[in-house]
Amino acid sequence: MQVIPVLDLKDRMVVRGRMGQRDLYRAIETPLSATSDPVDVARGLLSLHPFKALYIADLDAIEGDGGNERAIERLRAAFPSVTLWVDNGIADLDQARKWLAAGSGRLVLGSETQTDMNLVRQLAADDRIVLSLDFRGAAFAGPPQLLTDPACWPERLIVMTLARVGSHLGPDLDRLAQIKAVAAGRAVYAAGGVRDASDLVALQRLGLAGALIATSLHDGSLTPAQLANL
């Protein structure tokens, strides 16, 4: 079970996710860092456990309002041994290839920012591509065929339940089980709602590869000892 800490970036700082309501996101306050600077927050997270990857959501880029590439570059420079999974709203093949050519980590293609199937189909065989299947409530956010045509999926999938981000409601086990059942051996990662180690054990039992987590790391619900055991 791989735990991947999440950094939501907005206006060059880390913000606290609130059930996908991005207009309510504010600069994070956490005992792990004295500031909301991305490098400071990442260093605090890595003090808990030697995580191999960090998930970066560039919310400004996703919303088409600039981006936080400079902050992401600083993270790469500060933590060269950590693989960055970056969702920056890319939905264009040329942009995706340029990003991948830079050797910047794994590119997360969020379904909510895709307009059709083309980009995912073109890049599905690339090991650096991750598809995020994004859900708002019961509704799938993205082209319907992205959800109904598993043959086009890459080898890594995120199931993102936005309404559960920062909610303490627990992961959406039913939806995760449904996706896992049709994923044909692909690595599936849960995102949204993980509260503690018992939730991670439940995800392990479903056969998931890992989970994207923020709140339970910052509030201490997941301890270094539990992370080491997992």
Angle between helices 197-205 and 173-182 (to 10 degrees): 30
Please state, as a whole number, how many other Cβ atoms lie within 10 Å of the Cβ of residue 123.
18
Report the share of the chain in percent with pLDDT over 90.
84
Domain boundary assignment for the chain: 2-229
Token match 């991750």: residue? 130
- Give residue-wise pLDDT tens across range 142-163: 999 999 999 999 999 999 998 7
Angle between helices 38-48 and 69-78 (to 10 degrees): 40
- Give residue-wise pLDDT tens across range 2-36: 999 999 999 999 998 665 555 667 899 999 999 99
* Residue 95 pLDDT > 70: yes
Query: Topology of domain 2-229, per CATH?
Result: TIM Barrel (3.20.20)
pLDDT grade for 193, boundaries at 50, 70 and 90: confident
Q: Which long-range contacts (CB under 8 A, 24 or more apart) does 116-122 make?
A: 116/143, 117/143, 117/145, 117/146, 117/149, 117/152, 118/93, 119/90, 119/91, 119/92, 119/93, 120/146, 120/152, 120/153, 120/154, 121/152, 122/93
- Give residue-wise pLDDT tens across range 32-90: 999 999 999 999 999 999 999 999 999 999 988 889 999 999 999 999 999 999 999 99
